[in-house]
Every structure is written in structure tokens, then in C-alpha cells.
Amino acid sequence: MNAADRQQGPLAGHTVVDLSRALAGPHAGMMLADLGARVIKVENPETGDDTRGWGPPFVGPEDDLQSTYFMSCNRNKESISLDLKSSDGQAVLRGLLERADVVIENFRPGVMDRLGFSTAAMHGLNPRLVILSITGFGHDGPESQRSGYDQILQGEAGLMSLTGSGPDDPQRVGVPIADLLAGMNGATGVLAALVERERTGQGKVVRTSLLASLIGVHAFQGTRATVAGEVPQAQGNHHPSIAPYGLFNCKDGSVQISVGSEKLWASFAAAFGLDPAAPGFASNADRVRNRQEVIAAVERVFAEYGAVELLEKLNDAGIPAGKVRSLDEVYAWEQVASQGLVVDVEHPLLGTVSLPGPPLRFFAQGDAAETTVKDHAAPPLLDADGGSIREWLGLVPVAATDAPAGAE
């Protein structure tokens, strides 16, 4: 299914111009596309989005290999290649902005101004335009000009100090979480600005950053620092404020449990022959202070059970528990399929491919009929829709541009 033909979802009828590259902005654009918006991805004519070259893995024919990284964040979009430093590219972009509801960009502060598309200029073209701008460290302040890449921000924003086996083992999260969170925050901001536009008739600028998005999810670790004056540190697979809560060894592997209340602790202790009121174990605060003793006690009783039997016993006792799945197990899991979390799309070079699906579902009022968008388009080939987009704008194709390709 061609992305331009999609007319379903809460954002059907809205047009998004996605000038961003890499992950944070493209992820925001994909979220809006999943909600039914028409998302037009503007790419560098020579190489396209940076992520088209990120790999391996690559798949497809040897003379036109496709990056699976690119495929992760560009579902349901159209692609047009434009040299934004050329008169032609700028003319096409002006036409897009005049018709768009939203524009997404994640250049360093000042780049859009130098290209002639400052926020004032874009609102001069289209006062109803919602402008989403994502940076690494923020749009102002003493370090606003620093380039922002996910792992750099995971370190700078303190996330790596909280992640790992211990204080001397800082680890990055296994996905580019700063980028993904910035994209999610950006999409949320866009939706709020579109709602406000219904009241005011005016678009506005939405700004977020990788730094802001990581600090925004410090949660209880943040208030440990700002309120309690503690400096949280990494401590592996066990919760810093609840015990027992984490990954525990058993006879043939490991399981995860979450004993998040005193009621659950009483049930857990009864199921496994532990004394819930033993010295040092009677309250959650006691158990957190005596975490290593609690872990040792739990793993002594778990040593009698294999993982499958243990999970059944925990379930029977009403204790939240689970295993650690590999990604191949996750995507083969019936529960994942039941939630629409794997979608099949038809790719022009690869045929039918499966992609991780969107996380939201929608249902009609009253009869609860599901209205979630089910038809998805594959990530586009570079400039696959350039001709049709120019035709939509009333512009004729050009053979070449008049300046070197690419913006900063």
C-alpha cells in the first residue's frame, strides 16, 4: 500500500513534512504516520537519510542493499530528495510548508535560519504550521551547539551511571533510548499544538531535546538526587527501592519477580516457606537495607525449581513474574501478535517483510469496534515519491539542482 493512499486514523487529512534524519525526528514522524498523517520525508539527494547507510545488517539485492536500521523508523512515509541549498529544493520546500500542518527538523540550532527557513519565515509562509524542532542538548544555553548523539547523551544525562552491574560498570541502554524518547516527546508536543490550533487558529513551535527527554524519565532516581540528596548508582538487575524485585537465579536459569507490596511479600513468603517477619525482612525498607541477604534467601529456595516450574508456582501464588526473552522469542510470541505489534508490509525490493508495529490501538465508542490503522506502507526507497509530490505541488520535475547537495 502506498503511503499517500492512506486515509485512516485520527490524523487522516494532516500533512507532515519530515526534514529530520537519523532517529529522533524520524521516530516522531513515524508515530504521526502511524496515526494516519501523510508524512513526506525530505532527504539528501546523494545518500538520503544517514540511517540508509547504517549497518550491517543490510538486506536485499547486492546493488541496492537496504538498511534494517532505516526500516525501523520510516514506515508509512513518502520520500522526496531535495537539495535544500538549491533554488529548486527551496522552492519545493516552500510549497510543502505552505500546505503542511506540521514540519519536523532536527538540525543544530541556526541551520534552518541559514537555509532561509527560520521559524518566522516558515510561519510567514503558513501561520497554522506546527514546527517540531529536536536538538541534542537544547536550543539555547551554553552547550546548545554540541552535536547530540544517543550514547553521548545517555552518559551526559546520567542514565549510564544508573545502568550496569555496579557503580564501576556504566552501560548504555540496549536501544537508542534518548532518540526514541525525544521522538515520543516531540510527537506528543505536536499533538498538543494541533489541539491548541483548533482553538487559536495559529501554529506554534514545539521544542525538545535528547537531554530533556532523558532527564524527563529520571523518575524516582531524580528525586533521590534532588530531594533526598543521594547519588543513585547502578546496581544491576535489582530495584533500588523495592525488594525482592529483579532477576533471580534458579536451578536451570533465571526468572524475574516483582514483590511490590507487603501483601505480595506475605504471599511470596508463604508460597516458598520463608518467614515474612524474620529480622531484616519484615518491611520493604528492611529488605532494601538487607538486599543481599534477601537475594540469597530467595535464590536458596529458587534453586529447587527449574524456570518453567518456578514461573508456574509464582503465577499460582499471584506473584508478578516473567522470563527474559530473546527478540526472536518476542516476535514469535502469540501475545505480541494479538496486540498488533508485528505488521507485515510489501517492500518494493524485499517483498513481504515484518516490522515492529505501532504501540497504540483505537476503539470506537459504544460497540468497541477497533479503529486502529491496519494498513501500513513499507519504508520508502530514496525519492520514490518525488515525482508525485512535485505533481501535487504543481511543479515539474527538474533534471539537476544548481548547488551541491545537503544541508549541515
Which residues carry out catalysis?
A: 179
Paired sense of beta strands 342-347 and 321-322, if any: unpaired
Rg (CA), the chain: 25
Give one DSSP letter per residue of 19-33, joined into a string.
Answer: ---SSHHHHHHHHHH
Q: Residue 161 burial by CB count (10 A; 0-12/13-18/19+): exposed, middle or buried? A: middle
Task: Answer yes or no: are the C-beta atoms of 324 and 256 closer than 8 Å.
Answer: yes
314 closest CA partner among 368, 254, 374: 254
Ramachandran bin of 273, using left for φ above 0, alpha for ψ from -120 to 50, beta for the remaining angles? left
Q: Position of cell 564501576?
A: 168
Cα distances from 7 to residues 90, 180, 375, in angstroms, run 28, 26, 10
221 closest CA partner among 157, 168, 295: 157
> Which residue intervals of 72-176 are DSSP H helices?
87-99, 111-114, 119-125, 150-156
Buried b (16+ CB within 10 A) or exposed e, 318-336: ebebeeeeeeeeeeeeeeb
Residue 81 and residue 177: Cα distance in Å, rounded?
28
Residue 48 and residue 399: Cα distance in Å, rounded?
18
Cα distances from 395 to residues 77, 84, 136, 341, in angstroms, run 20, 16, 35, 39
Q: How many CB atoms lie within 10 A of CB 120?
A: 8
Cα distances from 111 to residues 108, 135, 210, in angstroms, run 6, 11, 18
